[in-house]
Amino acid sequence: MPRRRPGRWDAVPEQHGRRFVVTGASGGLGLETARVLAARGAEVVLAVRDVRKGDRVASELPGAVEVRRLDVADLSSVRAFAADIGPVDVLVNNAGVLAVPYRLTADGFETHLATNHLGHFALANLMLPGIRDRVVVVSSHSHRAGVVDLDDLNWERRRYQPYAAYASSKLANLLFLAELQRRLTAAGSELRAVGAHPGSTATAITGNTGSAVKTWVGDWGHRLAGMPVWKGALTTLYAATVDVPGNTFVGPDGLLEMRGWPTAVGRSRDAIDPDLARGLWRRSEELTGTRFPLDT
């Protein structure tokens, strides 16, 4: 049997008796995360926009898999899902969009803000009373280029730049992670919030940029320089199943965190700014109409 390279981790623990919700689980990293969890004995809920596509991929997965409709960009869908899901051990906030053209969701929010941050913010707070272990927040190394402008979250005053909007939403993910853990600790809760990013992974996330050139460059860039999906999903699986402290951020251990095996990684100075995190939390509460449910 070949010896393991030091630092390599791909041995996901057994998950029998545990229930997971994975958003955006009909393809890419979400589907691979769900596949591995189900193979390790977990009950997995695929939370997807397209139920027919979800049913197709679920039919090929091992174990106990359930498909439920969830559009994280639509707060009415988020509320309906949370009201009916019941207890879970782990919520994996994975669904996301990257560098899409400017448009507003049904709730009037810019698409990156709505999909990558606000929908998952609301979902976690609504589900929190029924979560038994942790919330996993999937961010990106691109958060380092992000700027969260609390006075212009919706990109109404600034010139819209798709990649900048994406990076800002990924920074918002980490600010949410830090503030959620702070609130859990202050409330005396044993729940934890853990973050992850997949480095450069060959998924189809660049497929909705609205530009054939950008889509092609992004797709082939990830294929040539990035990891296969099975390996890119390991950071999320690590964050979801390994006993790590709250507010841990997991990423690849290689050069620039683009490739490699899961390990705890750092984050930008803005991502650990407590005032910015609290300010974003307040604005997110106002915009979604949801609150941290464990406040006394």
| Residues annotated catalytic, as ranges | 166
How far is 96 from 25, CA to CA, in rounded Å? Answer: 11
Sign for the pseudo-dihedral over CA of 253, 257, 260, 262 = positive
C-alpha distances (whole Å) from 107 to each of 54, 76, 165, 230 are 24, 9, 18, 34
Of 258, 107, 113, 97, the residue nearest 175 (C-alpha): 113
